Amino acid sequence: MLAERPITPATLSRKDLPWQIKWDINTCTKCGRCTSVCPVNAIELGVFRKRDVKPPMGLSAKPTTEFSTFYGIRQRTDPAYACIGCAMCNMVCPNNAIEPSRQYDSTTLQFHNNRGGQPRTRGGRRNSSESLLDQIKFIRISMLTDPALDAGRHEFDVRTLLGRVLSPEAEIKCFRENGWKPPVREIYPLVIGGMSFGALSPNMWEGLQMGVAYLNEEMNMPVRISTGEGGCPPRLLRSRFLKYVILQIASGYFGWDEIIHAIPEMKEDPCAIEIKYGQGAKPGDGGLLMWYKVNKLIAAIRGVPSGVSLPSPPTHQTKYSIEEAVAKMIQSMSMAWGFRVPVYPKISASSTSLAVLNNLVRNPYAAGLAIDGEDGGTGAAYNVSMNHMGHPIASNLRDCYKALCVAGAQNEIPLIAGGGIGKHGNLAANAAALIMLGASMVQVGKYVMQAGAGCLGSEKDRCNVCNIGVCPKGITSQDPRVYRRLDPEKVAERVVDFYLSFDTELRKVIAPLGRSTSLPVGMSDALGISDKDAADRLDIKYVI
Amino acid sequence: MCRLFALTSRDPVSPMRAIDALNVMKEGHDGSGVGLFLSGLGGPWEELKEYPILSGIFTDAGLARMSEYMTKNGFQSKYSATFKPDVEPPVGTPKRGTYASIAFKIPDEWKGMTQAQVDSNLVQMRLDLRAMGEAEGDIMVFSFWPDTIMIKEVGDPMAIAGYLKLDREELYARHILAQGRQNTNYAINLYACHPFFIEGISTMTNGENTAFVPIREYLMSRGVTGYQGYQSDSEVFTHIAHYATKRLGLDISSYKHVITPMNDDEMRDHPDRAFLSDLKRACRKLIIDGPNCVIGCLPDGSMFMAQDRKKLRPGVVGGNPELGIYGFSSEICGLNAAIPDRDRTKDFQPMHLDTAIVGPDCREVLQCSQKDPLRQQL
Ligand code: SF4
Ligand code: SF4
């Protein structure tokens, strides 16, 4: 660094940065690829000066001083350009001469993430590596009185119902009297949760849609994908693939015009309509699509000018209370499709989730409730929201399921759980645990990005620049120079891969528990945990 | 593993025939208990068809408390068959007191009630007595219903039969369900011993019901008097049979459509597909995964057998229409022992889609497949 470098309150040393660049002068070829690929310009080519004092042998000759310059990589310490640990530099380096490394004791940057009085915003999810779902074990293995089932050979029915299911009495009455039946879809219990067209790059979106179509049409797996707020490309709305899609509407109503206008030309009904009231990663906050990502295409689909930030309000602007909102929105969305499409709200898990559920129990048109826990991901949110707000999914879901049991409406209003499933890669085990705690199906977003497109985000605050449109993998960028890195065909392939393996793993969990012909929703006797308080709270067995 | 044996006959027979059959199948169970359901009673009970019979086990104090309770509710005892063993019980069997079956006259005030109300009141009284007994440990009741006797005890079935003198004439019955073995998954508890009973419907099951907890939660939330207890994971089968027939008004041949619905392929060409897929959807919570063989008896005396979908349990039905006797057994050797003179080629082993039903006339085994059109007009 320059000797005259000013030292101000905001000056940091390299040591203060959580991610530090290790660069090896001996293997570096000075190709410059790393500096050109770095999404946040954390590294730059640097000119270094070196002074060498050469003391000759003997006493007669005087020592000489030599000055030399050499070129290398310099890590910037300005907080605005701090390295995010994405390791793209390493990915492009021909010699592995450079890589970021995490310094856990370097925490000072946290105090400088508010340049210009702007609190930090980022993508990703809660930076916490704990996961209750990972601690849950499946303890009820059929061994003695009954042989366990064979996951590879037995017939399995891994399907679930999305939509209001009538009670047996009501169903029979309805059949006899030929009455109106709420629409119900039989789908695969792992749903791709809402990631909007706008948050995701066109290539990512296309890849996901292709993967879902392939799973449905070639693999006989009725997988569904939610669009997230922000509309849906007009061609998809008018295609037969719409039936695999859950259209989301949120408080900003972005893209909704496009959808309404397409209704008369729709060849198929969408799978369902999801009304987003909240999201686990930023409860009580709306969407934050920032100006960097609002290019012409996004602007056109959302019906807004390009280059402006698009924050959705935290609540539905037109609604006065949750009772009114749930009733009216569900009613009007059902009406738009002639009561042929299930409509359900999505809320962030919170201690008031039960209030929303209570409203749904008495609403004959309510098709389900999606609950998103604190470990959910997002493309953009305030750091404080992500790290500190929200409710864990397991206990929230359990409360809701038990409330339904008391009301006798379990299975009648399907609960869709999300937020941190597969956080550490244990997708099938986490999903199975939630299903046994009472979820009819689960939804994942971040896992899809990580597995389907190689998203670099982690719970160690790695990468997380989804909000500013520079996603090094091209997942959450609207800049064609970046997103062309992502091949939609390859994304589709990965989506199919992880779905098929999820399916096998799920069977490997439920077969030994003796289940095969119906999804073990609420089979809480199968679960155990070595944390007494968690066991009591979730009403599952305490095992150590 | 529980062994199950049921007999249905035109003329009353001794329950010993069923116990003998259990004994033949002994190899498969540990002889830790026995449960008996008797209906279509013969002997002195023939005249008392209208009167609900309370069956259970009482200490002397319990007997007094029970009769006080019955009198308070306006019930008058008409006839009783009580048995107080005077010998030492077999090893492992506790000394309990009096094994009683008492027929009561319903109070006149009940005359104006609907049948459903009467039925539910009878169930409530049984539950009240059970709760009273659980508090003091002096009363155990297994059924309170017309033309029905239930006996349960811990111990080897043969030894218990001798101890309780089960070949008494007053226990002769036309429909008998017998099960050998106490509950092994949970603590030993007479209420956990099969068969289970509610409002004239009784079933027994072997195997393990892996879907027990969600089904139990679902049944308990239905608000039906009597859907409680669940000391055993098999009790839900009785209640599902009750729910399907009494609450939903379905025929017993539809029971299997509730507990083990067909998959989409099987349902594709079914003439009642629309109804069946609705039913599957609505009753999804009641789907069992087995492995189980369910044998049951209905209020009209029909008996049935159904299997889980994977058919991981054997089970056979056979009998002699001339003699008017049929047996339902979890092993073929049990059937051979109980009804040796029958045409064995006519034995029927229900497979994963079948329900075997023998009507009260005991003339034939009705073989219903889930693929058949529904027998019932909807
Ligand atoms: S790890 Fe990523 S942010 Fe850090 S220097 Fe390398 S490319 Fe830049
Ligand atoms: S790789 Fe892209 S999507 Fe993943 S955390 Fe980084 S910026 Fe976000």
Q: Which helix (H) or strand (E) holds A179?
A: none
Nearest to residue B204, comparing CAs of B227, B179, B180? Answer: B179
Distance CA B276, CA A272 (A): 24
Q: What is the DSSP letter of B221?
A: T
**Residue B186, pLDDT score:** 54
Distance of residue A515 Cα from the nearest chain B Cα, in angstroms = 6
Between 3.90.550.10, 3.20.20.70, 1.10.357.10, 3.30.1490.100, what CATH number should domain A133-542 receive? Answer: 3.20.20.70
CA of A73 from ligand 1 middle (Å) equals 11
Distance CA A81, CA A456 (A): 18
Contact A161 B184 (CB under 8 A): no
Taking only the tens place, the pLDDT of each residue in A403-454 is 999 999 998 999 999 999 999 999 999 999 999 999 999 999 999 999 999 9
Contact B367, B348 (CB under 8 A): yes
**Residue A3, pLDDT score:** 59
Question: Binding site: residue ranges of A?
Answer: 83, 86, 89, 93
Contact A411 B284 (CB under 8 A): yes
pLDDT at A328 over 60: yes
Query: Which residues 512-531 of A have a C-beta within 8 angstroms of B?
Result: 513-518, 520-525
Taking only the tens place, the pLDDT of each residue in A287-301 is 888 888 898 888 888
Q: Is the CB–ligand 1 distance for residue A88 below 6 Å?
A: yes
AA letter at B180: G
Taking only the tens place, the pLDDT of each residue in A202-216 is 999 999 999 999 999
| Mean pLDDT in residue range A23-31 | 94
pLDDT at A36 over 90: yes
pTM assigned to the model: 0.94
**Fold topology of A14-56+63-105:** Alpha-Beta Plaits (3.30.70)
Per-residue pLDDT 10s for chain B (378 aa) are: 678 899 999 999 999 999 998 888 876 556 678 899 999 999 889 989 889 999 999 999 999 999 999 999 999 999 988 888 888 888 888 888 899 999 999 999 888 899 999 999 999 999 999 999 988 888 999 999 999 999 999 888 888 899 999 988 889 999 999 988 755 555 567 888 889 999 999 999 988 888 999 999 999 999 999 999 888 888 999 999 999 999 999 999 999 999 999 998 999 999 999 999 999 999 999 999 878 899 999 999 999 999 988 877 889 999 999 999 999 999 899 999 999 999 999 999 999 899 999 999 999 999 999 999 998 776
pLDDT at A169 over 70: yes
Distance of residue B51 Cα from the nearest chain A Cα, in angstroms = 31
Contact B213 A522 (CB under 8 A): yes
Contact A145 B1 (CB under 8 A): yes
What is residue A110's three-state secondary structure?
Answer: helix
Q: Which of B210, B212, B280 to mutate to test the interface with A (most CBs of A within 10 A)?
A: B210
**Residue A530, pLDDT score:** 96
Contact B281 A146 (CB under 8 A): no
What mean pLDDT, rounded, does chain A reach? 92
Contact A271, A224 (CB under 8 A): yes
**Candidate from A147, A411, A515 with C-beta closest to B289:** A515
Task: Give the closest ligand to the alpha carbon of residue A43.
Answer: 1
Q: What is the DSSP letter of A107?
A: -
In SS3 terms, A89-108 reads as HHHHCCCCCEEEEECCCCCH
Query: What are the CA-CA distances from residue B179 to residues A51, B5, B168 (Å)?
Result: 96, 6, 19
**Residue A323, pLDDT score:** 78
Q: Which of B32, B182, B208, B278 to mutate to test the interface with A (most CBs of A within 10 A)?
A: B278
Taking only the tens place, the pLDDT of each residue in A366-390 is 999 999 999 999 999 999 999 999 9
Task: Please work out, in degrees rounded to the nearest 5, the angle formed at the alpha carbon of residue A50 by the alpha carbons of A44 and A54.
Answer: 165
Domain with CATH 3.20.20.70 in chain A: 133-542
Task: Give the closest ligand to the alpha carbon of residue A21.
Answer: 1
Q: Which tokens in the block code for residue B127?
A: 């539950």
Give the pLDDT band of residue A536 (cuts 50, 70, 90): very high
Query: Edge-to-edge, what's the strand order for the sheet holding A527-529?
Result: A137-138, A527-529, A541-542
Task: Give the closest ligand to the alpha carbon of residue A452.
Answer: 2
**Residue B182, pLDDT score:** 57
AA letter at B268: R
Query: Which residues 177-236 of B have a C-beta within 8 angstroms of A?
Result: 184-185, 207-208, 210-214, 217-218, 220-223
Taking only the tens place, the pLDDT of each residue in A330-370 is 999 999 999 999 999 999 999 999 999 998 998 999 999 99
**In chain A, pLDDT over 70 holds for what percent of residues?**
98
pLDDT at A318 over 90: no
Domain with CATH 3.30.70.20 in chain A: 14-56+63-105
Inter-chain Cβ pairs, chain A and chain B, closer than 8 A: 110
Give the pLDDT band of residue A91 (cuts 50, 70, 90): very high
pLDDT at A322 over 80: no
Nearest CA in chain A to B272: A175
Please, what's the b/e burial string for B167-181 (b: 16 or more CB within 10 A of its CB; e: otherwise)? eeebbbbbbbbbbbb
pLDDT at A483 over 60: yes
Q: Which tokens in the block code for residue B216?
A: 């139990």
- Would you tell me how many other CB atoms lie within 10 Å of the CB of residue B120? 16
Contact B276, B262 (CB under 8 A): yes
